Structure 1
């Protein structure tokens, strides 16, 4: 099977780009021949080519530039026909405006990868749902159910993303104490941490608001928020800093900014928090679980399909700093419980390897495009 992927982004910004890389890295040795069309130039283009995979760049412009979108779709259709592509995958829902049209022009089946909860209300999202498609691939049961309601005429498949578990193996990382020392973090007292882009829906402020209650019982505790400023919410970091000042937590909350060596930062933590609102999936949750960390995550969206509350993690409502503080204190107060959860979390994380993800994705492609070997 020859598979063309339309990837609008070419820089590593989040989970979607990570799953894209995992699929190609793990799937390059399969009997699939990959061809990637990027919508912009960037570091991912070079990375994909380093795998021996053909990667081309066709900037499509903004969606409102209809003539450029159509011109790009025609170019992609010509490539798909010339290179005898069997299927066109749009890696993000918006790129299916191009992918669906290209598939129609080339006479090739097309599908898209739905990685966020669809609502069917936005004009562009409604338009994407009307484009020709052989099916949709989703990343959680919740997204699968929502998409199936919107497009009941299409098969909607589920493929859970994976995690590079070898990077999050506690056996190859410094001990938590050594990691703290290396990163310049406090050596004494509990360390509660969160990792993510600086956006309100990621809930960093909720963790900050939970800290005063934690500090009442554990005055030597600290909080570390690992993540960089997001272009679309540049003011959120300032809001977070003002919240820290208002609560008098300047000496207790650490903001190291964007970091690359995430495994070491998570390894340094005693409790890992994921406070997002309706997180589509939550790869970083699995990364923390792979390190055997007691995890707290939101009780809606993707985390509920990863964590069984009270067994391999704890779930709390988004925005509820009181409930979050209680969950943190439960781990700190009940060390035997925290250790039991951590062991179960490590075991659960093994279900989400990148190898399993790539194989499941390829199997799903074959089921959606039958008759192609």
Structure 2
């Protein structure tokens, strides 16, 4: 008699961002959900806000839900009030999430943002439902001032850190070290390369670039900690002979709360007389094409980057990356595969850009080494390591 194969375990991924932007955590969730072994795990995804990854996941056969109705109600409830009133709100949140876990028949809950996000609603809901709950720390949320919430963050079954930097910060924030597993993010390198379909010459032409322009691309949403101002100052510091043929494009959305920062960038660029050379493109869907057309790609976060997926993506296309040395990028960029600088010193970035602009052979050598280095961050490595953590907590 043939024994029936066990059904795949249903894993619920929850992305709780609701600031209107779509960043690296979404891409990381998408890549992991799509590349899990479906014979063992059945991914289910829930977003707090509608976004472009919803149809993409559904097209890939991943069951995807929106939590917008519940969140709309919760956001209308005044967070002020007495302790009993706040406790009642928390209880209602736990009940609604426990109901979702039951309705979706979830075997394991995987939160996608931070131990501080979901520790007081999704985590207790999972304990009530009777399923393990783990969380990926996509960033450094800092140490919670509330002792009760710090206690809650230590109750996750596992905490995945996307870099050694984040693992160190988690320990400093009272997360038990034995719960932490370091798993670098990954990207589907083959698929990412395949998305770059437009000839570089055509992309450059559409951007209004001349054939001999030195094209610098900075992908990423416009936020002060992302360091767009660092690149602005670096371009201003370039020798005039190089600055005259340098064209910079910023590709990313500006969230409403960063409108003041964007206005300050515009003011500084205009003041320097560079409005025709430093241009904001807004949110773009053609990042691979833009990267392929670029001569150099810049990452300039002024706060330690949790990982730096854009760094891996640039390297996967064989492009020279010039990245902030703070946080995750220092774990990605090895000697010869890219250039690092301190974001508090724009002159360092300017010096790297000047060398890349002047020396095509150096650009090519960096690009070749970058492409080889990127193979170590393919999504298959991330998916296999994450599945091993699932096995730890599910006993599989």
Same fold (TM over 0.5): yes
TM-score, normalised to structure 2, is: 0.84
Q: C-alpha distance in 2, partners of 1:128/1:39?
A: 25
* Kept in 1: contact 2:314–2:321 (CA 8 A): yes
Given the alignment of the two structures, is residue 117 of structure 1 paired with residue 144 of structure 2, yes or no? no
Query: Does the CA-based 8 Å contact 2:21-2:255 persist in structure 1?
Result: no
CA shift in 2, pair 1:130/1:207, >3 Å: closer
Q: Which residue of 1 aligns with 2:193?
A: 169
1:156-305 aligned at under 5 Å gives the runs 156-169=180-193, 173-218=197-242, 219-277=244-302, 278-305=304-331
Instruction: Determine the C-alpha separation between the residues in 2 that align with 1:331 and 1:44.
Output: 35
- Seen in structure 2, the aligned counterparts of structure 1 residues 203 and 190 have a Cα distance that, compared at 3 Å, is same
Matches within 5 A, 1:119-138: 119-123=142-146, 126-127=149-150, 129-130=152-153, 132-138=155-161
- Give 1:68 shift: 4.3
Partner of 2:16: 8
**What residue number does 1:148 align with?**
171
What CA distance in whole angstroms lies between the structure 2 residues aligned with 1:170 and 1:53? 21
Structure 1 217/30 Cα, relative in aligned 2: closer, same or farther at 3 Å? farther
- Cα distance, 1:170–1:186 mapped onto 2, change above 3 Å: farther
Q: How much has 1:342 moved relative to structure 2?
A: 0.8
Instruction: Give the TM-score of the pair, scaled to structure 1.
Output: 0.89
2:346 is the counterpart of 1:337: no
- 5+ long unaligned stretches in structure 2: 1-8, 80-85
Partner of 2:332: 306
Alignment partner of 2:120: what SS? Answer: helix
Paired residue secondary structure (1:96): coil
Match of 1:25 in 2: 34
Shift of 1:84: 5.3
Secondary structure in 1 aligned to 2:166? Answer: helix
Q: Which whole-Å CA distance do the structure 1 matches of 2:293 and 2:195 have between them? A: 14
Q: Does 1:87 align with 2:108?
A: yes
Deviation at 1:217, TM superposition (A): 3.2
Task: List alignment gaps of at least 5 residues for structure 1.
Answer: none
CA RMSD of aligned residues (A): 2.7
Distance 1:82 1:223, change over 3 A: closer
Q: Counterpart of 1:319 in 2: which secondary structure?
A: coil
Distance change in 2, residues 1:34/1:128 (3 Å): farther
- d(CA) in 2 for partners of 1:175 and 1:56? 37
How many residue pairs match? The answer is 370
